[in-house]
Structures are given as C-alpha cells and as structure tokens.
Structure 1
Amino acid sequence: MPRAGQVKPPTDERLSDRIAIGVLTRVVPPGLVDEVVAATDAGEVRKRLLPARVVVYFVLAMCLFSGQGYEEVARLLTEGLAWARRWQGRWEVPSTAAISRARARLGAEPLRVLFDRVCRPLATEATVGAFYRGWHLVAVDGSTLDVPDTPSNVEAYGRPGSSRGPGRAAFPQVRVAALAECGTHAMFAAATGPLSVHETTLARRLFGQLRAGMLLIADRGFVGFDLWAEAAATGADLLWRVKTNMVLPVVALLPDGSYLSRIVAAGDRKRTNPATVRVVEYTLAGADTVYRLITTILDPQQAPAADLAALYAQRWEFETALDEVKTHQRGPGMVLRSRHPDGVEQEVYGFLLVHYAIRELMWQAAQHAGEDPDRISFTRTLNVIRRQVTAQAAFPPHD
C-alpha cells in the first residue's frame, strides 16, 4: 500500500499514454490520432508492444530523424521516459523486423487522413508576405522522391530514364504534387502517384482545397485549358506562366502594357468556348528570356502588370519548401526507407506532416515577433525540434 501522498502507478499503463514528441504531438494530438486510427480501421485487436498510436508517432519520428535506424528512432522516442521516472512500465526497444511489421499493419491511410485533417493554410492578413491586396498567395508544383529499388516499388512507381546515357536510373521514384502557402511554406494539400502520372493530373486532386480569395501561382508545366478551367471554377484567381509559343491573340490593349486575350481547349478549333485571360509579358534586367503570364484578374487597376510580374517570383517559395523536405528533413541524396508502396505512401505523408509542424512553429514565432516567416531559419528550427523530442518524451501528452 503506498504511503500518504504517493500515487500507485497503474499496472496497465501503456507506452502510448506516455509518448509525446514535442511540437509534433501538439500539431498531431493523441486524441486525433486515436480517432483517425479508429476511422480507418487501423487499430489493433489485441494488446501489442507497438499499438497503432505509437506506430503513428514512430513514423513521424523517423521522418524527423531520417538519418537514424528504426531501433535508434524508437530509443529517441522513449529515452526521456525512464530518465524522468515518469514511465514505470517495462518496454523493450522492438527489433527492426517488429517495427516493419507494425508499420505494415498500420498502413498508409491513417497518415494520409491525418495530413488532410491537420494541414490547413496558416497565414492571416497579419502574416508578412502572405497576401497581396487581399489575395491569399498560394502555389502549386510537383517533385519526385527516390524510393528503394524493390520489385514492388518499381512496379508501383516506375523508374526514370538515366540522364547519363542509355539505361535506367538507379532508383524508382514516387511523384508528389502539393499546394503551399507562399508566405509560410506550409503545404496544405498533397497527392502522390507513379512517374507515369503527370503532376498536372495529381494537381487536379488538390483543387478542392482552393477557395475564392486565393491567388494560385503556377509554372508553365501546368498550362492547359482544361486544367485552367478546373482551377478557375473553384473561385480562386490564377497567375500562371505559359510558353512563349502559345498562341495568345491580342483582343484589347490595357493601360499598364498588359492585354486581354482568349484561350481555348486544344480540340476547340472553331474557338467556340474560349476563356478570357489577361496577358503580362516582361523580361528581367540583363536577360533575354521573355516571361509570359496569364491571369484571371482582368482589371489592371486591381493588380497592375508590374505587380503581377513581381508576384510570380513568389512561386519559388514552393521550391524552397520542397528543398526543406528533400534536403534538410530527408537529407541530401537519401532514399526513402520503405520497400513497399504502402509504406512509401505512409512515409511521404509522414514527411509532409512533420514539415507542416515545423512550419507551423515558425509561423507562430514570426507572428509573435511581427516578422516575415522567411526570416526564420528552417534548419535551426528543425534542429531545435530534434533536440526537444527526447526531453519532451518524458511528459505525457495532453488529450
């Protein structure tokens, strides 16, 4: 019987009741994890060393500590528990094989649903660099990630051709397309697919997250009448670069040097169903390249041509966000861990969730300081979060 003032530790206390991984647990709270696990039917039917909640946080942790092996990630998740004497149960670090089986049981769907539930635009009108004259600046783009060279990954995703001559590249690749806020780099919608599926096809799956009041910026790889019409139908405004050989007849010249034109579908030879666009053409000082942008903003008083040309450069904020994931989180030249497609999907959404959590913390800090989020170092924030994980593991998550 415990002495007065002491509380006897419950004998059925679970590791999943104690694990917390700092900012990741705050952005992806345990109650939401349990709800999503139940909704996706990913929960365990018997008590396991690695219950589903623990596996979700393990996936997030392995995407935070991407250079560490499975067993070391498990130690990093739990080493603070015994040190602070807040974990009274016995728990042995599971083997790599046990962790692999637990990830396979969990599947990709819980991470995909968590991403959809958690990741939303962060910026407010007070966020420096996130808005232009009331338009919320967002960008769409795509990229690829190397995955392990296994038969199932090759079959599911395909392997790119080699840039060094005949043959194929060393690793198959998964294609990822996403929407991101230009001001915060927060990716709030994403879709994955094989290399054979173009990024514009994946982008269509994201348009449901567009809203009136957004200005969607895209590079010339996203041009196409049908894609343009689908994006415009969401109520968002568009600012897309197009190729210089695209036929854009001048319908009306505008005072700021831009002009109105019409675009049609490739098969609409009689131009019976055109869409009116405004065209902005410009060059950069010291360069010969002509940039051509088309936009749904037809009134130059609402957005002068010079402003739109400057806004297009915001698209590169998405490139920065991708570099944060591929170079700093994952590590330069590193290949994802997962040897099977379901694990690849799980891992991709784990990386995106971790990136969002880091960016959310940076946004909060910038808001508090009245700074542009771009002035806060992603690498330093990532390192701070990594250092905090083992220390904060000692404290139970707050439901």
Structure 2
Amino acid sequence: MTEWQYGLASVDPRWNVSGTYMQVLPRMISVGEDKTENEFLLNFYGDPYSALSALFLKGYQWPFDSGKVLSGSSVIDLLVYRECVIKKRRVFLDYRKNPFGIDKIDYSRLLPEAYDYLKNAEACFGTPIERLMHMNAPAAELYKSKGLDLAKEPLEIALCAQHNNGGISVDCWWQTPLKGLFAAGECAGTHGITRPGGSALNSGQVGSLRAALYISAHPRAKTQNALFLQLADMAVKRHAEFCEKLLSNWENVDLKICEAQRNMSDGAAAIRDAEIIKPLLESVTEDLKSITETTGVNAECELYKAYRLYDILLVQQAVLTAMLDFEETVGKTRGSALYRDKNGELRNGLEELFRFCPDKTAACDRIQTVSLINGQCKALWRGVRPMPDDNDFFETVWRGYRDNKNIY
C-alpha cells in the first residue's frame, strides 16, 4: 500500500503532462492570491538553459522518482509540490510564449539529448504551442476537446497520484484471502515497487485468465436460499440504520470528502513525514468510528456520497497505517515516494522537508501486508516468495495436464 506512482498532471481535466507537453518547453509559472506570476524554475536553477534542459527531461522521465531527486529531473516535482502545498500557490504550464522572457531560444545551449531531439523533430522554432502543434497536434487537441485551448489559456497542474502499485493480496490463481473473491489488474498487489504503466494491462489479461481457469475447475455450491435470505436481511438492516442516521444529520458530506482528499494530498502522498502521518491516521480512524454522528446528507439520492466518504476513509486508514509502519520499520526512501529523514541527504536549495535517505534496495526481500482487524488496520511483513523450482520435464507436465489441466 506504500508504493504509488506520482507525476505532474493537469488538475481539470486530469491528464498526465508527460512527453511532448514538457519537451516543447512551456513556461512553468506559479500564481499567488495577488495574481503575481513567478517562473520558479529559474529561482532554483539560476541558469535558464539548465532549467529548460531539466524541463525537457521531465517529459520522458515523467513519474516522480526518488532516485532522480539529488541529481535529476524529479526535483521539478518537488518544486511544484513546494509551490502548491507549502506556498499555497497555483502552478500552470503556459504554452503561449517562451520561458524566462527569452524571445528566441538558443537550442544549442540545451543538454545534447534535448537539443538533438528537438533538432531531429524540426522543432527548434517559435513558441511552445507552435512546437506542440508541430510535434504532437493531438496533444493540444485533446485539451481543446475538453474546453481548454492551450493557445489561449494556461494549464493548471499539480503533483498527482496516477496509480497504486500495491493492491489486494492474491495467490497464483489471483484468488484473494477471501475465498471466492478474485482480483486482477491494477487492483491486485502484483506490480512491485516500480512498474511501467502498461504492465497492468498484461497482468490483467493473465490474471483474469488464471482466475477463470481456477473458477471453472472449482465450482462452488450455491448458498441455500434460507441462509442467503438471513444474511441479506442482516445486511439490509445494517445499511438501513446507517442511512437513517446520515439523513438525520446536517448536510456536510461534500465538505468532508474534500477535507479528506486535501489532507491526504498534503500530508501523505509523494512526500511523507511521520510527524504528519501519525496524527492524520488518528484523525481518520476517529472519523471512521463517528461517521454516522458527524456526517449528514440532505436527500436519499445523496446517500452514495456518504458511502464514498466511508470508502475513502477506510482506504486512507489502510494506506496511512502502511506508510507509518514503513517509516518506523524501514525508514529509507525508494521508488516514487520520499520519506523525510533528518539524518539524510538534501539537495541544495530545498527545504528540510525534502531531506531523505535513498536506498532503492530497502526491504526488497520483504513484503508489507495490511489487514483490517476489529476496525483497526495492522501492518505485517512476510518474506518474498522464492522463484519456484518446478520440475518442468515434459512428461511430468503432460501427465498433470491430463489429470487436472494443471489447475490445482
């Protein structure tokens, strides 16, 4: 549950600003409540062409990678986080004119790989939007189809979560510990610390096939009607009581959802600090216990929002438990998250919040699991399963296939 993939994305509509969105070198500006603009990359890098080179690299080094913070392009993710979360400013990509007041960019002053790429693409000219239309017009048209014209207005971005690399624990048939429930694709915990996004597609196909094979070979008897009706009646009564309490309270569910999301984004996303996570976990646990006393909806058609809030809080409880346990048990930084460590390393120009101890092999021989027990989440560790040492001699495999199609 601790392993996520984060990266820069537009806020509305939500879309990753990777690839040519960065490689065309747009202005990256932050805007405060007083509407003043600041091209903050120049403040950090000092030299405009160093900033532009890092911005270009961010295009195909899109995911936030803790291994590229001390000397790499992922520091840009931290700079955006600093503007949004610490300074409470909004960050935009502006494609209408070149960065830093440069009328004509001297592309030869970029890093060789940036210069060569743009030169080969015949894109060493004009403004960012002109370069984008030349290199990848559909990228601009995508936003235009959603009501935002990059040629006329800037694009708001933030450091966002794309997907979780963990998930529900499954066996080799993609069956979860809850017998009869199978999980395949991104919801299954089969991806590891880092993974290419497309690998979930392959995992979903393989996992679904394996699950279908097992289910077809091990059909379960249907629950008897009397038992089913008894269980269903208990569930209906429980949910009816839940809904009745919510309808009797003052409407505030939308506000509570926004607060829950904001707290998680600010305190337990790509940048993690145990001093923030611990009280946040305590708050989430209390919110879960008191949800029917502190949450209200104004109509039956709004009840789904309360169920959504319950789901958000339950997942937050599991994720925060995992993060806090990882910080206390391992305490090192790996993958796409940074754990604050007062004894760690800090890139020049960054705040103490971003001091960390990198170790890409930390706890690689163990897997953390989180279980919900009596309303409380508990984190446990187990060893990584070894590679199977199977006897794949043809006659042995063929005999097993004849016996049970090797579905065991």
- TM-score by length of structure 2 reads 0.25
Structure ranking higher in helix proportion? 2
